[in-house]
Amino acid sequence: MAHETPRPGRLIAVEGSRGADVAREAETLVERLRARGIAAAISRWDASGLFADLLLADASDVVVTPRMLALLYAADLQFRLRWEIQPALAAGGIVVAAPYVHTAVGVGVGLTLPEAWLRNVLGFAPSPDAMRLARERKPGRGWRPKGSRGFGEFCVTVLAGSPSGCKPRAARARTMGWLSESGALTAVRRRALIESLAGYEQPAGSAAPVARADSQRT
């Protein structure tokens, strides 16, 4: 990931193969932090609207590939970092990025893209202070074509009619396997994460810069 610079805030990544699970975990984490008087905000994928715009495009006018989707995710993450995550961190806020880098790499691996290439594309993103792997529900099922639900689901939706195609069950299984192996040593339990932040002193209003991200679709 990118060269690290000191920052007063805390960045928590919530990762997973299924959009609904990632959203649920992020919301639960923020609710429990707020219950302890700790202000936090969520930065969700497609804050830029790039994915929503692609869904509206005429399928006959756009040739979608897995590499294109990975690059689109990188562009959206750049937007999130510039306008949501970094301003909040600079103000001392706690930001829950749901999802962040591991999900994008995992989905890319699930779509048979090279891991090294994916890491290079997303190498600009700063490392999170902690990471949570969302509990995977319905692990034996593939992604459903619901473009606004999550990154994996979006990929299934737009790749369905493309030459590259996508086998939802196999792709999700590969993604889950990669996430489990790569995140096993760094992911922390929710209770331990909340306890680690319990003594964190925040400036007043530090979560405000990304408050608008909480209204993004799930």
- Whether the CB-CB separation of 113 and 70 falls below 8 Å is answered with yes
pLDDT above 90 (res 6): no
**Tokens at residue 210, please?**
């990304």
DSSP, collapsed to helix, strand or coil, labels residue 98 as: strand
Question: pLDDT tens digits, residue range 139-185?
Answer: 999 999 888 889 999 999 999 867 666 889 999 999 999 998 886 55
Distance (Å) of CA 52 to CA 120, 148, 171, 218 = 25, 7, 22, 12
Task: Name 15's bridge partners.
Answer: 133
CB half-sphere exposure, 162, CA atoms < 13 A? 20
Among the ranges given (66-75, 120-129, 206-215), the one the predictor scored with the smallest mean pLDDT? 206-215
DSSP, collapsed to helix, strand or coil, labels residue 125 as: coil
Q: Residues of the chain with pLDDT > 70: what percent?
A: 83
Q: Which residues, in sequence order, are CB contacts of 62 under 8 Å at separation 6+?
A: 54
| Residue with more model confidence, 108 or 167 | 108
Q: Distance (Å, rounded) from C-alpha 200 to C-alpha 5?
A: 19
How would you label 78-95 residue by residue, b for 16+ Cβ within 10 Å and e otherwise? ebbbebbbbbbbebbbbb
- Whether the CB-CB separation of 205 and 84 falls below 8 Å is answered with no
Q: Which residue has the tokens 């829950």?
A: 96
- The pLDDT, as a whole number, for residue 211 is 42
Which structural domains are found in the chain, ordered by start?
Answer: 10-212 (3.40.50.300)
Q: Distance (Å, rounded) from C-alpha 164 to C-alpha 65?
A: 6
Q: Distance (Å, rounded) from C-alpha 58 to C-alpha 161?
A: 12
Going by pLDDT thresholds of 50, 70 and 90, the confidence category of residue 208 is: very low
- The pLDDT, as a whole number, for residue 63 is 83
